[in-house]
Amino acid sequence: MSDVLPLNSHPSTAAIEFQRVTKRYHKLQEQAMLMKSIMPFHRSTREELLALHDVSFSVEPGETLGVLGRNGAGKSTMMRLLAGVTSPSQGLVRISGRVAPLLSVGVGFHQEMSGRENVYVNGMLLGLSKSEVDERFNEIVDFSELRDFIDTPVKFYSSGMYMRLGFSVAIHVTPQVLLLDEVLAVGDIAFQLKCLDRMREHQRRGTTIVLVSHNMHTIRQVCPRVMLLRNGTLEYDGDADSAINRFHQMLAVDSAGDHGEHSGMPASIISRTVRHNGIETFSATPDDELEVTWTVRFEQSVKSPHVAFRILEADGTLAYSTHTVFGTDWRNFSPGDTTEVRVRFRPSFGGGGTFKLLLDITDTSGVHVIGTEFDGPTVFVGGWIATRGLGDSRADISIAGRTLSDWPDLSFETLRPQGDPPDVAPRSL
């Protein structure tokens, strides 16, 4: 049995409910050929693909759910099922209230229509009447910051402009369920922060939000609960920090075979582990001391090798690097010898994010790389609230002599003259 039904046909109070949902697709195993396809008795060989398999969960009204997973894990399929774009092959999907899906940049826009026309078309597709779109039109355009381009055909819009207009329409239809699939990955930082602020407003109003993102920092900030999908199955469902840790653990397991045996190089990295207080970990805070251990095997005789350690951001930007003192003679290794390289450091990146740890083994001069790791371990650093940027300068902010910030939990109080007690409780950001 498969179906997509409004929740009010069921006694459950959940805003979203998946009951043992499976979604199958089929892939042709041979190249499609016109002449073959018109032959009367020809049958194409098809392979079954399980995008989702026996997935069950529910989301309560007003809850914000984050969804993590590698490409192909089933995240977008799940969102399309929630949006009603497709139906499950097996199981039951139930959704309560008006749903506003924003699943991909540009989806739902008519290329030849202007931005103005698309606002009306999308608004009415999401359940608004023309008069309701009329009432909210100026708010939609002002939020999108596209007034100068609102009468331009959207085929001339950039991906960031698509996102601005689509997000603005979605949040102004007053949805009970808001579905967001990687839409915050495009657009400038200022508008992304503006979108996050508006999402928090919807959280306070009781809107149910499902957010798919590869940005761990956003997931951690916005989603108290996070699901982890792996190969179409539900791997984990719980708090954000644990889900992010499990996700990076999954990445480490999936890439375990990618770092060994590099033929032709004098040294090979055969294993690596990241630990905090002696326990293997995949996430940390900026204050934690981490120790990375690499096991290195020498395939040839090597005289006094040295190493360079690098930390890269998710986009490949160099966050930090250091190396041993090149030119120092200290020990020689024979073929078959193994040793350990240990690096201890603090990931003092206040803004947080996902970082890759890489090791290069060099000759004595440091000029020639004799062993390297192409895909090192990753670790998620949970940055402090309201802190941005790569480094952590540990800034304190005070106004009129009163400190109004701290790193672990930034808060802001109504400003009053010194000595007067505040009559408003601090509001946590």
- The pLDDT tens digits of the residues spanning 213-240 come to 888 888 888 899 999 999 999 999 999 9
pLDDT at 73: 93
More confident residue, 420 or 396: 396
**What is the pLDDT confidence band of residue 28, given thresholds at 50, 70 and 90?**
low
What does DSSP assign to residue 422? P
Burial track 374-384 (b if 16+ CB lie within 10 A, e otherwise):
eebbbbbbbbb
- Mean pLDDT for 134-162 is 93
Beta-bridged to residue 340, according to DSSP, are 295
Are 2-249 and 258-381 in the same CATH fold? no
Q: Exposed, middle or buried, 308 (CB in 10 Å: 0-12/13-18/19+)?
A: middle
> pLDDT, tens digit, for every residue of 321-336?
999 999 999 999 999 9
Q: What is the mean pLDDT of the chain?
A: 83
pLDDT at 373: 84
pLDDT at 107: 63
> pLDDT, tens digit, for every residue of 119-144?
999 899 888 899 999 999 999 999 99
Nearest Cα neighbor of 180 from 106, 102, 84 is 102
pLDDT at 414 over 50: no
Greatest mean pLDDT among 39-48, 357-366, 412-421? 357-366
pLDDT at 427: 31
pLDDT at 296 over 90: yes
Which residues fall within 8 angstroms of residue 226, CB to CB, at 6 or more apart?
65, 66, 67, 68, 219, 236, 237, 238, 239, 240, 243, 244
Distance CA 303, CA 155 (A): 61
More confident residue, 419 or 304: 304
**What is the pLDDT confidence band of residue 418, given thresholds at 50, 70 and 90?**
very low
Which residues fall within 8 angstroms of residue 5, CB to CB, at 6 or more apart?
92, 93, 94, 95
- Mean pLDDT for 331-348 is 94
Q: Where are the alpha helices (DSSP H) in 113-215?
A: 115-125, 130-144, 159-172, 189-205
- The correct answer on CATH 3.90.400.10 for the domain covering 258-381 is no
For the chain, the domains span 2-249, 258-381, 397-429
More confident residue, 59 or 191: 59
pLDDT at 377 over 60: yes
More confident residue, 248 or 152: 152
**Amino acid letter for position 354:** T
Which residues fall within 8 angstroms of residue 94, CB to CB, at 6 or more apart?
4, 5, 6, 7, 9, 10, 12, 14, 16, 17, 19
**What is the pLDDT confidence band of residue 150, given thresholds at 50, 70 and 90?**
very high
Nearest Cα neighbor of 195 from 164, 162, 160 is 164
For residue 45, the number of C-alpha atoms closer than 13 Å in the C-beta half-sphere is 3
pLDDT at 404: 65
pLDDT at 37 over 50: yes
Q: Within its chain, how far is the Cα of 393 from the centroid?
A: 25
Distance CA 195, CA 246 (A): 27
pLDDT at 7: 42
pLDDT at 411: 28
pLDDT at 380 over 90: yes
166 touches 183 (CB < 8 A)? yes
pLDDT at 422: 38
Q: Which CATH architecture has domain 2-249?
A: 3-Layer(aba) Sandwich (3.40)
Nearest Cα neighbor of 3 from 60, 26, 79, 17 is 17
Distance CA 120, CA 151 (A): 12
pTM, 2 dp: 0.75
